[in-house]
Amino acid sequence: MKQFNVPVFYRSPLISAIKTRRKADDKLKKDFAPTLLDFGPVKFYLARHFGFCYGVENAIEIAYRCVDENPGKRIFLLSEMIHNPQVNADLQAKGIRFLQDSYGNTLIPFAELNNDDVVIIPAFGTTTAIEEKLVQMGISPQRYNTTCPFVEKVWNRGAQLAANGYSLVIHGKPQHEETRATFSRASDNAPAVVVNDMAEAKLLGKYIIGTLPEAQFYVDFAGRHSQDFDIAKDLQYFGVINQTTQLASDTQAIADYLKNLAEQHLGETDALGKKRFSDTRDTLCYATNDNQTAVREMLQTPADLAIVVGGYNSSNTSHLVELCESVLPTFYIKSTENILSRDLITHFDWRNKVEQTTTGFLPMQTPVNILLTSGASCPDALVEEVMHHLLGYFSGHTPIEDVVSIFMSNDN
């Protein structure tokens, strides 16, 4: 896989060494067991896969290259390049300004741009309408386009379905930048509608089988269906694509549910043999799949708590938290700043979108077993900092260099 030029301060010598060893021992990526780092009074179980993915490293490399190649020019990002506060703050410190927030609200009006300005497309991609607006202003949206290749894969898959006469159901968070971009591309090619979760998939199913009045569809899915979407005919033939960072099991369950419902109500094929539901390959990105599988495997290990590091608006990170908290106490943090003391931690409630405080999060008895992972947009350096910070609360622990040396010398 391509090696990217990412600033060294995002790297962690410790974690890089561990990942390199695990990769060498498991070239086919079949072993998803966590890595044990035993410090005596505290044991960390690092997920097999976590941290910067291909798309994130690609985006960071392009953004920093853009700064180097355009001295003296005004540089803008359409919105946050990735969902990590440290990385976005670093880019702003380089002089890059954001045109929109993560929900598409204007921070700097497009009218303030001129054709000498540089605009970076974030890793989530953007809508065709915004691309066209930039072109009309004389700004190339492709020159510094950091759209993740796996997001583009979903767009291509949607275009293939549309070319074969299928409408598109998109499983994604409606306000997420990636979902908005995917919906834009899908709507250019076919009738499209967005469902957020299984509850909404079941609601959509009632319109497929006709148990709810057609007019109500346009209320229930307002702002989430393509123009001129006809609920009476546009779901006679359809396929499911997704936001790449969704929970894999959720996307599969939604696709299975809608497929079975459509086939039971309309038949598997029409009179000419055309399938009502077009099966799609899983369009989650490899990192999302690997990280979720690694967390599921990590959760097989008895532990006292889990810590997940990442930006609070990171979709892929929130799904790792969701998996962990179904099994044991889980704390979703941005950095070591959240760990206030051995007894006190602030962490994010991703369901209610609020930060909360928990006391006594670290058990008093030892050893304390901690599961540790991070989202695909989180620098490894932050994960190492969390480990060092937590180790500071345990006197007499084995030096970190010794533990790593033991791990590196062991035959796994």
Catalytic residue among 131, 177, 178, 200: 178
**Mind listing the pLDDT tens digit for each residue in 292-306?**
999 999 999 999 999
Closest alpha carbon to 79 in 180, 177, 150: 177
For the whole model, what pTM was predicted?
0.90
Amino acid 411: pLDDT: 57
Task: State the pairing for strand pair 238-242/192-195.
Answer: unpaired
* Helix 54-69 and helix 286-298, axial crossing angle in degrees, nearest 10: 130
Which amino acid makes up residue 214?
E
252 and 182 inside one domain: yes
Mean pLDDT on 170-176: 94
291 and 234 inside one domain: no
**Mind listing the pLDDT tens digit for each residue in 126-141?**
999 999 999 999 999 9
H or E element that contains 54 = helix 54-69
- Please indicate, yes or no, if residue 112 is contained in any of the structural domains: yes
Q: What is the CATH number of the domain that holds 260?
A: 3.40.1010.20
Domain boundary among 72, 105, 136: 136
Mean pLDDT on 92-106: 94
Range in 90-99, 188-197, 401-410 with the lowest mean pLDDT: 401-410
How many CB atoms within 10 Å of residue 217? 21
Number of domains forming the structure of the chain: 3
- Please indicate, yes or no, if residue 362 is contained in any of the structural domains: yes
Give yes or no for a cis peptide into 367 (omega within 30° of 0).
yes
Q: What is the CATH number of the domain that holds 84?
A: 3.40.50.11270
Domain boundary among 82, 105, 136: 136
Mean pLDDT computed over every residue of the chain: 94
Q: Distance (Å, rounded) from C-alpha 235 to C-alpha 170?
A: 13
**Mind listing the pLDDT tens digit for each residue in 109-166?**
999 999 999 999 999 999 999 999 999 999 999 999 999 999 999 999 999 999 999 9
Q: Distance (Å, rounded) from C-alpha 234 to C-alpha 217?
A: 12
For residue 237, the enclosing domain spans 149-266
Tokens of 47: 């997920």
Burial 315-354 (b: 16+ CB within 10 A, else e): bbbbbbbbbbbeeeebbbbbbbebbeeeeebebbebeeee
Counting other chains too, the contacts that 252-256 makes at CB distance below 8 Å and 24 or more residues apart are 252/282, 253/198, 254/169, 254/171, 254/195, 254/197, 254/198, 254/201, 255/171, 255/280
- Please indicate, yes or no, if residue 194 is contained in any of the structural domains: yes
Mean pLDDT on 236-254: 92
| 132 flagged as catalytic | no
**Mind listing the pLDDT tens digit for each residue in 51-78?**
999 999 999 999 999 999 999 999 999 9
Domain boundary among 85, 115, 136: 136
Mean pLDDT on 259-266: 94
